[in-house]
Amino acid sequence: MGRPRRIRRAHHRARADGAALLRLADALGIVPAVTRYPFDETGAALADLRSGRASGSLVVVLG
């Protein structure tokens, strides 16, 4: 096993930078591509991911 990883603090401007990035994405009309799968279709989500049919983020929804 390798050396344990250390957790370091995030840059103090990370929150402001993230907010600026989200404003820029909104101004450019960038929207996330999200495909939701019910929990009982998790197998289909994995199959789509493995086959390359998936685009963007795949989310398995519980309940």
Q: Which two tokens stand for residue 48?
A: 């789509």
Domain assignment present for residue 6? The answer is no
Residue 3 belongs to some domain of the structure: no
CA distance 45 to 17: 32
Asked whether residue 29 is domain-assigned, the answer is yes
As a whole-number percent, the residues of the chain with pLDDT over 90 amount to 65
Of residues 51 and 2, more confidently modeled: 51
* 28 domain-assigned: yes
Residue 39 lies in a domain: yes
Mean pLDDT for the stretch of residues 17-44: 94
pLDDT of residue 57: 93
Is there a domain that residue 54 lies in?
yes
- The letter for the amino acid at 47 is A
Say what the pTM is: 0.58
Would you say residue 5 lies in a domain? no
Q: How many domains does the chain have?
A: 1
Residue numbers of the domain that contains 19: 14-61
